[in-house]
A and B are shown apart, each in its own frame.
Chain A
Amino acid sequence: MDDIERELGRDEYSEGDADISDDMSSKRTNSKLPVVNPRHVETQRTSSFQKSTRTCLGLIREALLHHSWQEAAEYMACFAQRLEESRNGPVVQEKELIWRISTEILHHHPNSKMEDYNNIYERMKHSGFKNYLMISLEHSFHLLLNGRVKDARHQLSVAESWRHGNESAIQHKKTELIHAYKGLLDYVMWCDKKSTINHAEYPDRLHNQDMNNLFRAASVNLKAILRSPGVWDPFILSYVEMLEYYDDHEEALRVLNDYAYDNKYPPNPNAHVYLYQYLQRQNAPDKKLMKVLKVLCELVPSHELMLEYSRLLLKSEKRTNIQKALGIILEMLDFACWRSSLDTWKLLEAIIKKLQSQCDWKDSVAGAMAARKDWWPALHFTRFHASRDSEENPALKKVKASLTQILLPGLMLKYTA
């Protein structure tokens, strides 16, 4: 409808015409399926302008689905007029639509250049305030992916200082993200600086001013984001690396411990892995390592570090530990991904050998294998496995063959040497 009709509130269509609801087909179905509300309900109040833009959007969607980027670009040029709709409401969604579809087209179109991206990002950023932060973030990601770290960082610093009354308070979570990524980019630049310094020029590496500034800037942001609950793997790694460089081990350990053990963070096996790796680098005693790995074992029994854990347990020579090691290795082998791993089987062999030095090893082995008797043969010891292993990995076959009788005594297995 034209503006004048809306303004005057005239209802021109109520004069008893029969075909009013032509377009609104009354679906008086008796179906029990949930009815999806159509995205656009076309009524008399739809103006031709809206029809135009909706048809255009439909055609753009078809073009996108068929990957015809040239066509999509043509229709996008026509669709840009959608921004000029005079009423509020649908325009905000359209801005987001235009932003996302434009970037998608630019990603795939063969002729798209960096300037086009910059252009679109800048325009859409300033065309509204709801999307400003997200578009800034995406823009800086894009610049980062194309190797322009400084520009990305600049974008983020501009976005950091954005204020828009109430809106910036409502979007504070996004602002936190922006701070975090700015910290990360500072770290990236710090890494660049680190790799380029010549040790001869700067014998005292701790006093390189640029690097220190970057470190300080980055650590502020990274520390801030690490305080809030979430999964922050890349951030924590970069923070810890910088701290290690500057020999601030206390802080590093504290951060890692918090990340791994504090309940406010969502359960994250990687946290324990990072803590373990850090302790390894710092040559921590075995007991500490084992403590960390114990938690990891409960979280992810099939983790590759379980091999390490078993080795440590074996090294410790305590009887209970060896028992535990057996359990851990068997649990690992429960998972099909370790089926062809020679190291795992070899370690199992070593454990069994160690166990055999004790007198009641048969019972302990039988106890460990009790639950597995039924399905391990099918998992590891079929004739197919035999033929495959003898082709691909004869050493593995030898190890496995020697273990068949020990693990599963009395069963007639097809797995023969």
Chain B
Amino acid sequence: MDEEHTAGYKEPCAVCAAVDWGISDEGRFYCRSCHNVIERTKEVVDPNFNPGNSRVTAMGRGSRTKRPERGRQWVLCEGFQFILRSQADALVRLGVSPRFKDEVLCELWRSFLQKSRQAYASNPVRPTSVGGPGSDVDSDGAAESTANSSETDGDSCNQSIAGSSSNWSEFSGSLDAVSYLSGSMRTSRQSLLSMKRTLALIHVALVWSREPLTLSDLLRLVNDGHVPYVNAHQELPDEMKLRGKDALLFRVQSIPSHRVVHRDAQALILLLQLPVFPPISRQSLLHPSLLSLRYLMDANLPDELHPWVCRLMERAGMADQTLYTFHLEGCPSLPRYDVQTAALIIVTMKLLFGLDDRTEWELSHQACDQDATGTMFSLRRWFRVVQAALTRAQQRRNQEVAGKQWAAQKLLHPDSQKTSVVLKTKRVTEQVQVCFEKLSGRPVSARRGDPSSFRFFWGDGDSADGPSLHQKKLDGVLTLKDGVPTPSNSTYWHPALSASQMCSRLYSDVEATLPRTFVWLLQLFCFLLDVRPAYLFQEVLKVETRVVNGNSRKRSRKTKTKT
């Protein structure tokens, strides 16, 4: 540690002629071999220094402020391109195949720019002081290379701007931020670029390349900081200066929710008029038959549940791959793989266990009574184990949310005049933070864990969340009927299902009437996926409609149906 402070000082000691300096407690240099102290001291950062208290003793002559470096001109899509690239790189580092970035994402990005006429078009929308499109740009003039050539793309766009020196905007570092936010762009929503859009693009690319990363996984990685999103603008190269109105586009104060990004992705697909997606077959990891395995493992449910989930899927007519492959005619909405799979699992559990606050506990008592060897799955035990782990995990997540730091190192504020105020506030914040970090002995940013597909770890080790119940048998809830195992529970409840009613009912109203076990199960899966309970509940209702109504459109009230 001393070396870095004394590194520059190479004079031999006056007493013993050795060059071996250290720093004493008072901050003075001393020779380590003979302990001779010299006059030189190390520079100290004094936390008590108050710039606000010092008085000005001399008046300055003229303006001392240097003009900040201009850097080079750049347009917004360049900035977003950089950010998109760094996000894709992060995903590739985490294990996604490079095909996703090189082939899929790149093409999507180019297609988007073309469709929104920001680049690669014969008549691009260009920012000028007069307004209206500017000069032509070489269409597809850039080489068909990978995203590594983003520099050349940018340059080719730049060179064709005539009279560019007059285009410096005082309000933003980029050329077109002001016009971007102006009225003409506002009317055509689809072509707007934003940080949220980058996530939507990545999601579409992931689905296209059939990577097993669902939207909730992506959002979780963003939340934990493994994929750059908050303060991603810090990774832009130095010569692209961000100022003023750029802040509105690049600075984020919240992570978008699942629903919002999904809707954005949907809009994007329609804008880009993509052809049929590569099919999601039963072998692909996004299909519920394989995705449910992952969720069953995460929720500590026994593996034997999986065949039942598949059977339910077939019964509901949801096993078909066309349902999961986006297609403008056949399947015009982007499927929500994670939420649908979770809904399937919930309905399976409802079928097997009843989940009406009575049946499942009775079955569990029976299972415990009959069980001499301890190999039976007992819902009560499962509930206890998972509830404890869930509470702990929710507390941990709460703490992480509280400790998340949103401020960037580089300053970015929409109002350029307020920079001095913002700088001062930043200094104050840092001082207060340092003071308390010193006091508590724990730095603020030391919280990131390793990325993982699973929220919980079930097993026997010390770091496990609880004992693993994956190997338990479901015999307690099954009986043999004609030699075929069927669920012992023969009743099934559901709230009134009707296509038109689903959307207008508020979950918060209905929630009070639902059995507590069911609500708790919803909350468990909502925690795993990080979505709102109402969202998941809607999906459960949809699955139930398919199961109950089948292909006919008959309405059903709150009935008990025999399975």
- Chain A positions within 8 Å of B, measured between CB atoms, are 1-4, 7-8, 10, 12, 15-19, 21-22, 25-26, 46-53, 55-56, 58-59, 70, 73-81, 83-84, 86, 98, 102, 105-106, 109, 111-112, 115-116, 118-120, 122-127, 158
A18-B534, A49-B253, A70-B440 known; A55 vs B507 contact (CB < 8 Å): no
Binary per-residue interface labels of chain B (169-211) against chain A in the complex, 1 for a CB within 8 Å, 0 otherwise: 0000000000001000010010000111000000000000000
How far is the CB of A128 from the nearest CB of chain B, in Å?
9
How far is the CB of A4 from the nearest CB of chain B, in Å?
5
Complex Cα distance, B404 from A59, in Å, reads 13
Q: List 14 A-B contacts (CB under 8 A).
A: A2-B252, A18-B502, A18-B506, A19-B534, A19-B535, A50-B253, A74-B436, A80-B433, A81-B433, A83-B425, A84-B406, A102-B436, A106-B439, A120-B432
Give the nearest-CB partner of B502 in chain A: A18
Asked if B260 CB lies within 8 Å of chain A CBs, one says yes
A52-B402, A115-B48 known; A74 vs B506 contact (CB < 8 Å): no
User: Which of B253, B435, B439 sits near A1, CB closer than 8 Å?
Assistant: B253
Interchain CB contact under 8 A, B52 and A126: yes
Give the nearest-CB partner of B439 in chain A: A73
Asked if B551 CB lies within 8 Å of chain A CBs, one says no
Asked if B276 CB lies within 8 Å of chain A CBs, one says no
Q: Return chain A residues, CB-CB under 8 Å to B405.
A: 78, 81
Please provide the 8 A-B residue pairs with the shortest distance between their CB atoms, ordered closest to farther. Answer: A19-B534, A48-B254, A56-B402, A73-B440, A47-B254, A77-B436, A126-B52, A47-B253
A22-B534, A127-B425 known; A81 vs B508 contact (CB < 8 Å): no
Interchain CB contact under 8 A, B254 and A76: no
How far is the CB of B92 from the nearest CB of chain A, in Å?
26
By CB atoms of chain A within 10 A, which of B52, B425, B436, B444 has the most? B436
Interchain CB contact under 8 A, B248 and A18: no
Complex Cα distance, B108 from A358, in Å, reads 117
Task: Please tell me the number of chain B residues within 8 Å of chain A, measured between CB atoms.
Answer: 64
Give the nearest-CB partner of A58 in chain B: B402
Give the nearest-CB partner of A59 in chain B: B402
Binary per-residue interface labels of chain B (242-262) against chain A in the complex, 1 for a CB within 8 Å, 0 otherwise: 000001110111110001100
Give the nearest-CB partner of A71 in chain B: B440
Q: Return chain B residues, CB-CB under 8 Å to A116.
A: 435, 438-439
Q: Return chain A residues, CB-CB under 8 Å to B252.
A: 2
Interchain CB contact under 8 A, B503 and A16: yes
Complex Cα distance, B48 from A116, in Å, reads 9
Interchain CB contact under 8 A, B53 and A122: yes
User: Which of B248, B403, B432 sits near A123, CB closer than 8 Å?
Assistant: B432
Q: Return chain A residues, CB-CB under 8 Å to B532.
A: 19, 22
A81-B405, A83-B425, A123-B428 known; A48 vs B48 contact (CB < 8 Å): no
Complex Cα distance, B532 from A17, in Å, reads 13
Interchain CB contact under 8 A, A7 and B248: yes
Complex Cα distance, B431 from A111, in Å, reads 17
Give the nearest-CB partner of B535 in chain A: A19
Give the nearest-CB partner of A26 in chain B: B508
Interchain CB contact under 8 A, B407 and A84: yes
Complex Cα distance, B259 from A15, in Å, reads 12
Interchain CB contact under 8 A, B254 and A4: no
List 6 extra interface pairs beyond A12-B260, A18-B505, A55-B401, CB under 8 A: A18-B504, A55-B398, A73-B439, A78-B404, A115-B47, A122-B52
Asked if B65 CB lies within 8 Å of chain A CBs, one says no
Give the nearest-CB partner of B430 in chain A: A80
Interchain CB contact under 8 A, B186 and A8: yes
User: Which of B428, B502, B503 sits near A126, CB closer than 8 Å?
Assistant: B428
Complex Cα distance, B52 from A286, in Å, reads 59
Interchain CB contact under 8 A, A52 and B439: no
How far is the CB of A55 from the nearest CB of chain B, in Å?
4
Asked if B413 CB lies within 8 Å of chain A CBs, one says yes
How far is the CB of B251 from the nearest CB of chain A, in Å?
6
Q: Return chain A residues, CB-CB under 8 Å to B414.
A: 3, 7, 86
How far is the CB of A14 from the nearest CB of chain B, in Å?
12
Q: Return chain B residues, CB-CB under 8 Å to A75.
A: 402-403
Complex Cα distance, B432 from A47, in Å, reads 23
Binary per-residue interface labels of chain B (488-519) against chain A in the complex, 1 for a CB within 8 Å, 0 otherwise: 00000000000000111111110000000000
Q: Return chain A residues, CB-CB under 8 Å to B413.
A: 86
Interchain CB contact under 8 A, B505 and A84: no
Interchain CB contact under 8 A, A80 and B398: no
A49-B406, A55-B401 known; A77 vs B429 contact (CB < 8 Å): no
How far is the CB of A175 from the nearest CB of chain B, in Å?
19
Q: Return chain A residues, CB-CB under 8 Å to B406.
A: 48-49, 52, 81, 84
Give the nearest-CB partner of B401 in chain A: A55
How far is the CB of B187 from the nearest CB of chain A, in Å?
11
Q: Return chain A residues, CB-CB under 8 Å to B255.
A: 48
Q: Return chain B residues, CB-CB under 8 Å to A70.
A: 440
A73-B440, A126-B50 known; A59 vs B399 contact (CB < 8 Å): yes
A2-B253, A21-B508, A48-B253 known; A59 vs B398 contact (CB < 8 Å): yes
Interchain CB contact under 8 A, A19 and B507: yes
Binary per-residue interface labels of chain B (272-312) against chain A in the complex, 1 for a CB within 8 Å, 0 otherwise: 00000000000000000000000000000000000000000
Interchain CB contact under 8 A, A18 and B538: yes
Question: Considering the complex, which residues of chain B in the window 508-563 have a beta carbon less than 8 Å from any beta carbon of chain A?
Answer: 508-509, 532-535, 538
Give the nearest-CB partner of B504 in chain A: A18
Asked if B426 CB lies within 8 Å of chain A CBs, one says yes
Asked if B437 CB lies within 8 Å of chain A CBs, one says yes
Give the nearest-CB partner of A57 in chain B: B402
Interchain CB contact under 8 A, B507 and A22: yes
Asked if B442 CB lies within 8 Å of chain A CBs, one says yes
Interchain CB contact under 8 A, A22 and B249: no
How far is the CB of A74 from the nearest CB of chain B, in Å?
4
By CB atoms of chain B within 10 A, which of A53, A75, A81 has the most? A81
Q: Return chain B residues, CB-CB under 8 Å to A1.
A: 253-254
Interchain CB contact under 8 A, B425 and A52: no
Complex Cα distance, B398 from A59, in Å, reads 9
Q: Return chain B residues, CB-CB under 8 Å to A50.
A: 253
Give the nearest-CB partner of B501 in chain A: A18
Interchain CB contact under 8 A, B251 and A18: no
By CB atoms of chain B within 10 A, which of A19, A106, A122 has the most? A19
How far is the CB of B437 from the nearest CB of chain A, in Å?
5
How far is the CB of A66 from the nearest CB of chain B, in Å?
14
How far is the CB of A136 from the nearest CB of chain B, in Å?
12
User: Which of A16, A98, A122 sits near B50, CB closer than 8 Å?
Assistant: A122
Interchain CB contact under 8 A, A112 and B439: yes
A3-B414, A119-B47 known; A19 vs B538 contact (CB < 8 Å): yes
Q: Return chain B residues, CB-CB under 8 Å to A26.
A: 506, 508-509
Interchain CB contact under 8 A, B440 and A18: no
User: Which of B53, B260, B429 sits near A84, CB closer than 8 Å?
Assistant: B429
Q: Return chain B residues, CB-CB under 8 Å to A59.
A: 398-399, 402
Interchain CB contact under 8 A, B436 and A73: yes
Q: Return chain A residues, CB-CB under 8 Å to B429.
A: 80-81, 83-84
Interchain CB contact under 8 A, A80 and B401: no
Give the nearest-CB partner of A13 in chain B: B260
Interchain CB contact under 8 A, A78 and B435: no
Q: Return chain A residues, CB-CB under 8 Å to B189.
A: 10
Complex Cα distance, B186 from A75, in Å, reads 40
By CB atoms of chain A within 10 A, which of B248, B414, B428 has the most? B428
Give the nearest-CB partner of B245 in chain A: A7
Give the nearest-CB partner of A1 in chain B: B254
Interchain CB contact under 8 A, B194 and A4: yes
Q: Return chain B residues, CB-CB under 8 Å to A118.
A: 48
Q: Return chain A residues, CB-CB under 8 Å to B48.
A: 115, 118-119, 122
Interchain CB contact under 8 A, B435 and A119: yes
Question: Considering the complex, which residues of chain B in the window 415-451 have a beta carbon less than 8 Å from any beta carbon of chain A?
Answer: 422, 424-426, 428-433, 435-440, 442, 444
Complex Cα distance, B435 from A111, in Å, reads 11
Interchain CB contact under 8 A, B425 and A84: yes
Q: Return chain B residues, CB-CB under 8 Å to A80.
A: 429-430, 432-433, 436
Interchain CB contact under 8 A, A77 and B433: yes
Complex Cα distance, B186 from A83, in Å, reads 32
Interchain CB contact under 8 A, B254 and A49: yes
